[in-house]
Structure 1
Amino acid sequence: MADELERWCLVTGGRGFAARRLVDMLIRYDMYPVRIADTGPDIKLEPHEEKGVLGQALHSGRAQYVSMDLRNKSQVFKACHGVEVVYHMAAPDSSINNHQLHYSINVHGTKNIIDACSVQNVKRLIYTSSPSVVFDGKHGIFEGVESMPYPAKHIDSYSSTKAEAEALIIKANGMNGLLTCCIRPSSIFGPGDKLLVPSLVAAARKGRCKYIIGNGKNMYDFTYVENVAHAHVCAERALASGGTVSKRAAGEAYFITNMEPIRFWEFMSLFLEGLGYKRPKTKVPVFIMMLLAFLIQRIYRVLAPYGMRVPHLTSSRIRILSCNRTFCSFKANDRLGYRPLVPLQEALKRTIESYSDLRAEVYLKSKGASKAAACLGNGIVADIFLWRDIKLTIGTQLILCAFYVNLVSPGNTMITAISKLFIIGSVFLFIQGKLPDKLLGCSVEKISEVRFADTMARQTALSLVLSWNCAAHSLKSISSGSDSVLFIKTVSFLSILALVGSVSMQSFFTKVLPFSFIAFYIYEQMEDKIDGFVQRVLPIGRSNPNLESSNPYPDKKHEWYTWII
């Protein structure tokens, strides 16, 4: 054990996201040796932690790890022995819908902490609460202040038990000389978070981040993780100051934000764009989403006994994503001396840079070209049919429409249509060649020559030779009668080719082409689902197991919007 005469600071839930940053900050400030408490049997450091201040502090004895379950009173008392200040940050995952779990940890665990602080002569207790303790899940909050009462009914068990624990902490202020306060950080983000950005990226890869719920103008307060850690230090310093400062700071709750409210959907879009994904643009009215959620809930009630999963789209989550949630940090500034260390734009930049492994280009490179793109040759044709270049796709569609109206709909044969196309092209080139170099003050570009580059010509010739040799080899294999699979594939391909060849020009332009522009795009967007369905119906092969999951953290099953609670 450490020196009995030296007073420690204890961080419960010390391996959590925000707690790790606080531990790092406390070690660097070197005001107290740091005791890290969490549920794991021992501490497992990440590579950057082993070489950083935490690894050095553990090695030198300025930090130590203790395994502790808040529900085990003896473990809590042991962890609080010799402690001057407790940062109580431990809490269950807010996305877990288990009232008994939340109550046992948030309420009973907090009671154990308070009892241990009282018996072990702990001087200061700072509790990490949540802004959701004043949120009813229905009505938005704009510039919320700490005097707001708790709602009659909370949105979930996490929020209600957090409110109950917060009330216990405030009531415990002054007990046997113990000074307490509560910190309510709003929507924490930053490097190292395994919820917000990873799950947001996973949703974007599945095409779930294209829509804005509501008008997109709802405002939110977000807090960079380093500022959250700084707020805890400010609270402890204020409580330790003595005199009027301590009295004004103690027994109170404080909203902590970056003090820079921003539109919720703009914040999400900045993350997506920063990592190379498209920002959501299509706005869907709230009442439509509420109606959809109601229908899904009805269907779930019927099909739940047959294995239907709990739907993510619920009315409460729709309200959360479409309402205002901003809070005033003036009280924290006035009584704790809190000001954000890192402004919002810099915080966004740091966070985006820390997730370079989740960038769109990295994902696409690891996954390789989609099957739809490979089928279309991974070139300009793929760009057109997969809508990668909107201007090119729409331009191509207009040209095809003009071709159809002028050359196909009159009933021309293929040869006649192509001949007329060449005639039109020739007339255009002839007129373009007769035009002066400048017309009405504008330069006229001349087509000096139209020819294949040598490299392109060689590649085209090589492709033709390879195709011919491949076809000849296939015919040789079929003639030997030893490859029945190749025979079936060849017959099937020729049958499809004959079917396509029998389609009239009008049907091709009015049915096949429009369908192609839709089918290839949909297949690329839902490739995994379509392939999975085909494999279940027709078990004709297995996909690459390394590419099956688009979730960069498969052990995390929550959706990104649960992080704002």
Structure 2
Amino acid sequence: MAAVEVAEVERWCVVTGGRGFAARHLVEMLIRYEMFHVRIADLAPAIQLEPHEDSGVLGGALRSGRANYVSADLRNKAQVIRAFQGAEVVFHMAAPDSSINNYQLQYSVNVEGTKNVIGACVEVGVKRLIYTSSPSVVFDGVHGVLNADESMPYPPKHNDSYSATKAEGEALVMKANGTNGLLTCSIRPSSIFGPGDRLMVPSLVAAARAGKSKFIIGDGNNFYDFTYVENVVHAHVCAERALASGGEVSEKAAGQAYFITNMEPIKFWEFMSQILEGLGYERPRIKIPAVVMMPIAHLVEVIYKLLGPYGMKVPQLTPSRVRLLSRSRTFDCSKAKDRLGYSPVVPLQEGIRRTINSFSHLRVENKPNREGSSKASRFLGDGKVADTLLWKDKKQSLFAILILFAIYYNFVATGSSIITALAKVLLAASIFLFIHGLLPEKIFGYKIEKIHPSQFHLSEESSRQLSLSVISLWNEPVKTLKSLCQGNDWSLFLKVVLILLVLSFAGALSLRSLFVIGVPIGFTAFLVYDKKEQEVDSMVLRFKSSMRERRHGISAKLFGNKKND
């Protein structure tokens, strides 16, 4: 009797946003496990593989037909339906960059797009929908979150547009559970990191190379849950398997949200320091209170809203990010362990090691050499600040001097009081806002982004947050005073005395004197050091040696006198 070959039934799954960071790892894991044929859905008209992908499992799967790519915009339901045809499972991972605080963009994808995903799943008969959410859905940006579980409700006001719209999308997915036999659940992975990350590590290295990674925002003691990317995609697979199990397991798993972490909380700035040190950069050391950074962040955000339509890059310093960097955020994974069978497959330190190794091209020794780079240039970050102060970009340096001269002429040389200077700034801002309001919506094809009055409204929640920040700022010197009262920390005492002496000296100078002294020093001191680095270093070493000898001499006299007594 001839053998009858039974053709393999093709079971398809879809990964939306399939070319994103975590989604790429999920696609490769699904291919390796041979659980499904994988359809990758994303915005680009065609898939562009990186060399390692082309020679790896993804390239092989695309060539063999075990994976394919479809271009789909979630905001277009017809395209979503076409992408989901014949699929048994959908992993909905698509979302805009979380750093872009644009409500219209975030809402159109995270809410309207998710509605289309749910509608398409119901229409074409998808059986299981796993939604990639975020722990930010329970974060208000004001209060820290410590070991929170899934019973924690959504806050009345979220930290940013991304968090608010992800919460709306998640609620829609939970509500859709059971519709036409569709089973759903939501995965909330906390602070994903690992190989292939295009945001956190590259931004961290860029800041280090620009001399901006020396600073810690807040007190540096806030704890975080970072999650290695392989653990995140493993959690998605666990969720799909739980929903597919049937019976009581499926009933318990479906219609629920799950926090996913490495189950190893760590201080936020310690994690960042380990990444930086692993790549050869210095760890952050200088602490800046969050309350000091918030006004600057608000100003940067306003400027971006004005200039963003004209090509300004998305800023890294925003109010929502300052809150994220200075608050604790840790979560309990017990529910995912119990109902999904999830536990991390890669420990935190191993994940950090793999991440550092994957970014070897960003190590400090591989930093592109700059002509004329010196210790002064490296101290200034080898960036625009160095180019300006060291006169490497003369056009940029002259432009900076012109701006400083304008500030001096309008606010300093006139002997203006603080109130007069503030009035001038407000006058200039009022004229700008009035003229900006008169402009048409488009000029020569460029869209003019209008400023909504709500941008200047201080909500009750913002007022409360400002009050908490002021209290936090007050508590810092109170802690110092408590330490001084104990009388046993000489190092702290000397630091306080030195700072107060410097402030008393600076306070004796007029604003005009400070400007006249400070600006020339800024533009000459670094330049002189850049040209006479060896001579200056030699002088500093001689001075340090002389001071050590004097200190030893004084100590010997004091202790000698005590012995004689």
Q: Same fold (TM over 0.5)?
A: yes
Contact 2:15 2:92 in 1 (8 A): yes
CA–CA distance in structure 1, aligned partners of residues 27 and 100 of structure 2? 25
Structure 2 residue aligned with 1:325: 329
| CA drift at 1:94 | 1.2
**Percentage of identical aligned residues:** 66
CA–CA distance in structure 2, aligned partners of residues 520 and 4 of structure 1? 61
Structure 2 residue aligned with 1:285: 289
CA–CA distance in structure 2, aligned partners of residues 520 and 243 of structure 1? 62
Contact 2:12 2:37 in 1 (8 A): yes
CA–CA distance in structure 1, aligned partners of residues 284 and 371 of structure 2? 24
Structure 2 residue aligned with 1:258: 262
CA–CA distance in structure 1, aligned partners of residues 153 and 245 of structure 2? 29
| CA drift at 1:310 | 8.2
- Paired positions, count: 391
Unaligned runs of 5+ residues in structure 2 are: 1-6, 400-565
Matches within 5 A, 1:435-450: none
Post-superposition Cα deviations, 1:513-545, rounded to whole Å, max 9, x if no partner, equal xxxxxx996596742333465234669xxxxxx
RMSD between aligned alpha carbons?
A: 2.8
| CA drift at 1:72 | 1.2
CA–CA distance in structure 1, aligned partners of residues 270 and 182 of structure 2? 43
Structure 1 residue 155 and structure 2 residue 159: aligned? yes
1:342 to 336, 341, 346: 346
| CA drift at 1:308 | 9.7
Q: Which letter does structure 1 place at the counterpart of 2:369?
A: K
CA–CA distance in structure 2, aligned partners of residues 125 and 304 of structure 1? 35
Contact 1:138 1:316 in 2 (8 A): no
Unaligned runs of 5+ residues in structure 1 are: 374-385, 387-518, 540-565
CA–CA distance in structure 2, aligned partners of residues 21 and 265 of structure 1? 26
Structure 1 residue 128 and structure 2 residue 171: aligned? no
Structure 1 residue 219 and structure 2 residue 223: aligned? yes
Contact 2:127 2:181 in 1 (8 A): yes
CA–CA distance in structure 1, aligned partners of residues 379 and 165 of structure 2? 47
| CA drift at 1:6 | 2.7
Contact 1:189 1:225 in 2 (8 A): yes
Structure 1 residue 232 and structure 2 residue 236: aligned? yes
| CA drift at 1:186 | 0.5
SS in 2 for 1:251: coil
SS in 2 for 1:367: coil
CA–CA distance in structure 2, aligned partners of residues 302 and 69 of structure 1? 27
Structure 2 residue aligned with 1:367: 369
CA–CA distance in structure 1, aligned partners of residues 182 and 234 of structure 2? 22
TM-score (norm 2): 0.65
Structure 1 residue 199 and structure 2 residue 203: aligned? yes
Structure 1 residue 31 and structure 2 residue 35: aligned? yes
Structure 1 residue aligned with 2:394: 534
Q: Which letter does structure 2 place at the counterpart of 1:165?
A: G
Matches within 5 A, 1:26-105: 26-105=30-109
Contact 1:36 1:65 in 2 (8 A): yes
Post-superposition Cα deviations, 1:294-331, rounded to whole Å, max 9, x if no partner, equal 67779999999999998654443322211100011110
Change over 3 Å in CA distance of 1:290–1:104 after alignment to 2: closer
Structure 1 residue 351 and structure 2 residue 355: aligned? yes
Post-superposition Cα deviations, 1:118-138, rounded to whole Å, max 9, x if no partner, equal 111111000000111111111
Post-superposition Cα deviations, 1:225-270, rounded to whole Å, max 9, x if no partner, equal 1111100000000000011100000000000001100000000000
Post-superposition Cα deviations, 1:81-108, rounded to whole Å, max 9, x if no partner, equal 1111100101111122322211111111
Post-superposition Cα deviations, 1:417-450, rounded to whole Å, max 9, x if no partner, equal xxxxxxxxxxxxxxxxxxxxxxxxxxxxxxxxxx
CA–CA distance in structure 1, aligned partners of residues 276 and 80 of structure 2? 42
SS in 2 for 1:152: coil
Moved more, 95-104 or 327-336: 95-104
Structure 1 residue 11 and structure 2 residue 15: aligned? yes
Structure 2 residue aligned with 1:209: 213
Q: Which letter does structure 1 place at the counterpart of 2:320?
A: S
Contact 2:133 2:170 in 1 (8 A): yes
| CA drift at 1:284 | 2.2
CA–CA distance in structure 2, aligned partners of residues 195 and 93 of structure 1? 9
| CA drift at 1:5 | 5.7
Post-superposition Cα deviations, 1:446-492, rounded to whole Å, max 9, x if no partner, equal xxxxxxxxxxxxxxxxxxxxxxxxxxxxxxxxxxxxxxxxxxxxxxx
SS in 1 for 2:233: helix
TM-score (norm 1): 0.65
Q: Which letter does structure 2 place at the counterpart of 1:106?
A: N
CA–CA distance in structure 1, aligned partners of residues 119 and 297 of structure 2? 44
Structure 1 residue 248 and structure 2 residue 252: aligned? yes
Change over 3 Å in CA distance of 1:315–1:118 after alignment to 2: closer
Change over 3 Å in CA distance of 1:103–1:304 after alignment to 2: closer
Change over 3 Å in CA distance of 1:309–1:345 after alignment to 2: closer
- Larger relative CO (CA 8 A, sep 6+): 1 or 2? 1
SS in 2 for 1:23: helix
Q: Which letter does structure 1 place at the counterpart of 2:224?
A: Y
| CA drift at 1:287 | 3.3
Change over 3 Å in CA distance of 1:212–1:172 after alignment to 2: same
Q: Which structure has the greater CA radius of gyration?
A: 1
| CA drift at 1:369 | 6.1
| CA drift at 1:167 | 0.4
Structure 2 residue aligned with 1:166: 170
Contact 2:38 2:66 in 1 (8 A): yes
Structure 2 residue aligned with 1:458: none
